[in-house]
Structure formats: structure tokens, C-alpha cells
Structure 1
Amino acid sequence: MGYRIAVVGATGNVGREMLSILDERGFPVDEIVALASRKSQGTEVSFGEQTLKTKDLEQFDFTGWDIALFAVGSEATKVHAPRAAKAGCIVIDNSSLYRYDADVPLIVPEVNPDAIHGYAKKNIIANPNCSTAQMVVALKPLHDRARIKRVVVSTYQSVSGSGKEAIDELWDQTKSIYNPVDNYQAKVYPKQIAFNVIPHIDSFMDSGDTREEWKMVVETKKIVDPKIKVTATCVRVPVFVGHSESINIETEDFLDEDEARDILREAPGVMVVDKREDGGYITPIESVGEFATYVSRIRQDVTIENGLNLWCVSDNLRKGAALNAVQIAELLGREVLKKG
């Protein structure tokens, strides 16, 4: 016996990935529906060998459906997630709307699976920010061993994190540089992204941090440990898919780099590729389409008493969004619903 699953925002990058990953991982589906805005109604999307025609989210009745994977913006989520939850359908939301709600669990299954039982307060579970998700998968096993005190992270985030329009912008802008006649004007980003980097993701706050940086701080505390101090600098780079992070960790107890490497090799969801030679590390293009969070460049930080440096890479459309949502659904199935 399987589940009745609704994918909300099925025509977007993340929604399509959700459908793909549900099929790839053999999620026990009895019935599946693709939902989108009225303007996208009837658009065809793939689920394995099936072709689904999207239905209108506005008119959809969630009664009798088990799980809804939401991959739409906060405004649409604000309207439709409570409606689905009230109808008895458990919502797994990829937007930022519920991440900081004390009554909504924020889950990365490899890190805090026990939090799944908190779903019942609102019938909603939140999926973390893409940059946070991959980082905490790498941090948690090291924290369990040596207690992390402080994290300094710089991100190198691909344009797919801003949606299809941003992918198109990088492509069109790159072409226009080689063909100046095109004279392409930036629409998504405040400055040129092709052959450039932009130290600005999301809106600026009074502190000088961006909301993306603030999200990494708050979400790491909620998922891993509220005592961990985090400071982040989030940067958009001219990469289509795949987020990278340079992570500096300070721990309470000394942790040797070799032991850290061994711990991460055994950690769920982590793949260590760390050879001290040309090409002995993972780059974002190699993470595309993969499930793992890759860790490379593991080494001691000798400038502090108990310090480590890591390089962390993951497909942001997968672990940073769609994969994590499907893993939450799998966890929900095992621990709560127990149908499949």
C-alpha cells in the first residue's frame, strides 16, 4: 500500500526534480497529482514513464491526499499550505515561510530525524534553505564527536537557486558578451553575473547581513544546536547548478583531520572525495544529478586551537531542495504514516 502524493509547483525547477526523485528512489506512490498555478494548468510534466498534466492549485481539494510537497513561493504557500493541512494532508514546504515557526519542525533527515514527530502541531514540515541543508549534513557528525563552537562559512551559490529566469539570464548574458550586438540587460540580478560574482543573495537587513546569510545562522541553530555561533557570507557565482561552501569550524574538543575524514566517510548522506593532488576534490559540476553532499579539502586550521577547514559541494536542486523534501516524506512514511 502506497501514498497519495501532490506535488505543488510541479512545473518549476524544484517541482520537476521532486517528481524525478520520487521516481528514482522508488517512493511508494499509489496516486500522484501535479499542481501549478492556473496559467500553467495543462502543462505536461514527467513522473517516470508517466506524463502528468498539471491541475489548478486554486481549485484542488487536498482531502484524502497523504502528503503535499510544496515548491512554490511564500505567497502561494501562505494561502494553500494551511488549506492542505486542514484537509488532513501533511505539507512538506520548500519555501521560507514556516522555517522559523516554533510549531513547525525544520528537518534534514540525516541530522535531526526525531524532529519529525513535531509535524502534528500544524500538519506542516519545513525544508531548510539550500545552503543550510548541505552544510548541516557535514557539520552534524563532527558536532557529535567534538562539539562545534563556531562556524565561518562562505558560499558559492549557483544561479539555479534563483529559478529558471536566473539560469536564462546567465546563459543570455554569457552569449551577449561574445556577441555585443545582443546588448543583454540584467533582469534577475543587480549586477552582471556572467564572468562575475555577486556578494548579495536575498535582501539586505539592518545588520548589513543579507537574509540568505541570516537564514544560515538561524536554521543551523534550529536544526543542529542553538549554541553554535555561525557567521556567513553568501555569494552568487556564474554556475548553473551546484552550491559550494568553504567552511571553517572551531570545536570544543580537538579533532584531528584524519579522524574527521573517517567520521565523514561513515556519515549518512556524505561522500568524501579528498585527495591532495590535482583534481582530488569535487566541483559543483560533478555534483549535478547526484544525491550526496560531497566533502573535500579536509585540513587542520592551525591558526586556532581546535580548527578544521572543509570544502562542501552539493546539487542545490536536489539536497538543497527536492531531495531533502522527498527524504522527509520517506522519513514520515517510516516513522508516522507507515503505509509503504
Structure 2
Amino acid sequence: MTICKRTTISRWLLSSITAIGLVASAPALALDSIKMLVPANPGGGWDQTGRGLAQALQQGELVKKIQIDNKGGAAGTIGLAQFVNSAKGDPTAVMIGGSVMVGGIALNKSPVNLSQVTPIARLTGEYDVLVVPSSSPIKSLKDLIAQFKANPGAVSWGGGSAGGTDHIIVAMIAQATGVDVSKINYIPFAGGGEAQAAVLGGHVTVGLSGYNEFAGQIQSGKFRPLAVTSGKRLPGIDVPTLKEQGVDVELSNWRAIFAAPGINDAQKKELMTTIDKAVRTKAWHDLLAKNGWVDAYLPGDAFAQYLESEVKQTEKIINSLGLAKK
């Protein structure tokens, strides 16, 4: 009788231990699904990054289901506020963001900021291209700068949200060419698709955005590229840089993924591991090559340190250019 009881207990303990082991080794339920917030309208760089990452995650069989929600406006700070307020502690929630958001927060003195979310990884970098419609009388960067210096307000610049990378580039061009920054006529758009339509319709003098967002219109001959914001010419792209044309400006637009505020270390590590696997997939590298994006992958704490430095530098630029709200 005693032997039977011991055998029963031993079997129960063995089955319990096995069950515990299975639970421990199984994938976390959080990665069965992910809710991705893209704080911009469809068609822009953040949207392309988010959807490309989602594709890599699913093709790599890293996440079963991904829901993408676009919430554009105010350089991403509207979406950021929604994310901070509604996703706290949710290990299935992630958000795409980047340098545009850093600038928007500084310019608008936003009540929410990136210290309130969890940095997971910097993903990509991209340089801007300045374009005009093919029908424009502006044939070169020299023509554009001449008009800009002669009558700054008459030259309208169409780009991303106010305070973002595009806006800062225009301000830096003004400073580099001796134009009063306060006279810039900058027209912000919530997404790259809107900016593209504005350039095509002749509603702005010049448009600027990541090269990939305008690549199709450049290749079809509808847009005339004037300059790129890289230090050196981009591989396979025959467009001169601002610097080689005498305008000493260089700036890149990085994009990243963040997790919700209030998640624990294990949940953060799990997301980081998943993203680390995603950026090693063929699908992700094909996306980088297709879009001409720089592989700027920087995970975890290293990204958090970079972000802190980037926030300080961007705030300094915006304040020195007089862009921040009073």
C-alpha cells in the first residue's frame, strides 16, 4: 500500500515537473500576436518600416499575428500619446518611431516623450532627397538656393511633420546659406504620400523626404532630384549631395521600434530577441536593399544611450534655430 502511494506521488511529481518544463520552454503567449502602432499615415517611411518589419517577423515565423494601426499627426506625438496612455504594461504592444518624433517632441514641447516608452532597437537610417516637379523652372540646387535667398517666403518646402528631420534640414540649409530661419515657408504633411501629392500637384516649390518615398516618381521622370543629404553620394543613385554643391548640411533619418511603458525585463528581453532574429532574416535584408535603407541596427541599452544623446542634440539644434515653441 505504501509502495503504491509512493508510486502515485512520484508519477504526479514527474508529470507536474514535465508540465512546468513545457510551459517554461514554450514561446511566450505575448509573441503569438503583436499590436503595432505606426504614428503616421499610410505610405510614409514609418509605415514602410513597420509593415516591412511585420513581414519579416511573419515570414521568419517569429510572430503568428500582427495588427497594424496608423495614427498620424504632430510628428508622431499624437500616436505616442495614445501609446503611452493605452499600452502601459502590454507586452504585445510596439510602436515605430524615429528622429522625426524626437524633433516633433522638442519643437512642440510635447507633454509625452520617448523616456516614457521602452527602447527596443534602432532599425534603419535613410537620407533625404530634395525634389521639384519635372515641369519646375528650378533646374538645379543652385537655382533653388538663389530663389530662396532672394525671397525666402516665396519658396515653399513640403516635408514631414513640423519639427521632424525634413524641417530641421530646411532650417539647416537656411542657416548654411545665410537665410533668416524665421522666414522659412515650411508646409508639413502627416505622411510621405501627402507630401508626394503636394509636389506632383505643384502645391509646394520643393519637396523633401527619404529617397525611397520619392524614388518611383524620380525614376518615372515626374520629379527632378536636386540633392541628397548624405555625406557621400548614395550607392547606385546619381544625385549629388548638398555638400558637394556648396551647402554644408548632412543629416540622416533613423527609425526604430519601441515597446510599451511598464513591461518587465523578461518581456523586454523577449521582444529584443524576437526583433534581433527578424533583422537577420532574408526578408528584412531584401527590404533594406529594395528601399536603399542603411542597416542601422542597434539593440537594447546601446540604443537607449544613443537615443538619450540624440534627444539632447536635436533639442539643441531646434533651439539654436529658433524653431521651438515659446
With structure 1 as the length reference, what TM-score do the two structures score?
0.30
The structure with the greater share of residues assigned to helix is: 2
Larger CA Rg, structure 1 vs 2? 2
Name which structure has the greater RCO, CA cutoff 8 Å, separation 6+: 2
With structure 2 as the length reference, what TM-score do the two structures score?
0.31
